[in-house]
Amino acid sequence: MDSTSEEIVSSPKFRIITTLKYILFNQADLDPPQNDVKDWQNQHETNLALHAQRLQKSAEAFGWNDLATHIQQGGPSLLEQYLLQAAQNQSKNDPSLDPEAGSFRMFRTRLEISNTGSITVTITAMTPASQPISLLPHETSVFNPPPSQSPPPIVSDPSPESLCQLGVDTQATASTLFTNHKTSYRAPYDTARSRSQSPQLTPTTPPTKAEVLLFNPQREITEASFSTVYFFRGGQWITPHATCGGNLGVTRRRALKGGFCVEGVVTLPSSGAGPLQSKKQSEETFGGGQPWQIQHGEIVWLSNAVRGFFKARVALI
């Protein structure tokens, strides 16, 4: 690490982080768990293992070797211990958050770990309120239909207001340890969000409403400020390659393992190319080989571990 990075990491407030959606059930639905609950538990365990691996790799990258070993040994059960306790404490403090039998409650959780191994969980109840177990979300459904059967990337959507508005940053963001790993140091992302004018973003703007794409000095798209991005190219969905320098999130790993996408490279438009291209130009770009360019008006997927997978429309200034 350079001296600037060392200074950031040495701050007593610096943490490695992972965020996810946590679901709390009524105890009556866990003894024994019904099929829908059991399916969710299996999916949750798989996700927690990926979150643990992510934290372990982050600890290794910042030289916290003892912590990395501790996370590796504890695995997903270590994270579950803290997450469950936080959710139960929240429902005890506010009984309205305690789900009734046959229902569940969703929480946004943020798990932070210091270099000493101190683990803190911040938890916030998500809307809507308790829902019936029959409405449990299943991530595997997003992988169907297969990418080859997906709609073309530029479409006339009947409900454009339901799509996230996705702008593109006006300046490059260099790839560093702080873009490769999720940490409490978010200056690169906060700066990109502050530059965004179309759409305008506030610190509390949810990514499902509006987001901004970042790119590296090589003009390669890396990620969105809170989300992984997926483009439809060459008959399949692709997500920015790890070498582009973005964060390698858990939903990204799930999408790659599930066959929903492959890695690829999408760049900013060529110098001098306007954002509004003709239909013929767009079709030629989408049908050709790499390097592919981002297109004004195209529909993309975004994802993160709290919001899941959701669609967005690209708007180039």
- The residue ranges of the chain whose pLDDT is under 50 are 145, 149, 152-153, 155-156, 158, 272-289
123 & 248 share domain? no
The alpha carbon torsion through 192, 194, 197, 200 (nearest 10 deg) reads: 110
Domain that holds residue 219: 164-270+280-315
Which tokens go with 142?
Answer: 């997003």
Spatial distance between the Cα atoms of 228 and 138, rounded to a whole number of angstroms: 18
CB 220 within 8 A of CB 213: no
Helix axes 35-61, 65-93, angle to 10 degrees: 140
What values do phi and psi take at 171, rounded to 5? -135, 150
CB 264 within 8 A of CB 239: yes
Last residue of a domain, one of 108, 142, 176: 142
Instruction: Identify the pLDDT of residue 281.
Output: 40
Instruction: Identify the pLDDT of residue 137.
Output: 74
251 & 136 share domain? no
Is residue 149 domain-resident? Answer: no
254 & 221 share domain? yes
CA angle 214, 219, 221 (to 5 degrees): 40
Spatial distance between the Cα atoms of 184 and 302, rounded to a whole number of angstroms: 22
From residue 23, alpha-carbon distances to 38, 43, 136, 207, 213 in Å are 12, 12, 9, 20, 29
Instruction: Identify the pLDDT of residue 144.
Output: 52
What does R_g of the chain's alpha carbons equal in angstroms? 20
Spatial distance between the Cα atoms of 111 and 228, rounded to a whole number of angstroms: 19
Enumerate the H helices of the chain as residue ranges: 3-10, 35-61, 65-93, 177-180, 187-195, 250-257, 279-287
Element (H or E) spanning 169, and its range? none
What values do phi and psi take at 279, rounded to 5? -60, -40
Is residue 195 domain-resident? Answer: yes
Spatial distance between the Cα atoms of 189 and 203, rounded to a whole number of angstroms: 11
129 & 171 share domain? no
219 & 121 share domain? no
131 & 8 share domain? yes
Instruction: Identify the pLDDT of residue 122.
Output: 97
Place of tokens 């499902």: 208
Instruction: Identify the pLDDT of residue 140.
Output: 54
Which tokens go with 76?
Answer: 């997903």
289 & 169 share domain? yes
Is residue 116 domain-resident? Answer: yes
Which tokens go with 287?
Answer: 């049908």
Q: Please state the domain count of the chain.
A: 2
What residues are paired with 107 via a beta bridge?
Answer: 22, 125
Spatial distance between the Cα atoms of 203 and 192, rounded to a whole number of angstroms: 12
What residues are paired with 197 via a beta bridge?
Answer: 200
Is residue 275 domain-resident? Answer: no
Is residue 152 domain-resident? Answer: no
180 & 305 share domain? yes
DSSP 8-state assignment for residue 94? S
Is residue 23 domain-resident? Answer: yes
Is residue 186 domain-resident? Answer: yes
304 & 207 share domain? yes
95 & 225 share domain? no
241 & 196 share domain? yes
Is residue 30 domain-resident? Answer: yes
Spatial distance between the Cα atoms of 212 and 196, rounded to a whole number of angstroms: 7
Q: What is the pTM of this model?
A: 0.87
Last residue of a domain, one of 86, 107, 142: 142
23 & 124 share domain? yes
Instruction: Identify the pLDDT of residue 176.
Output: 97
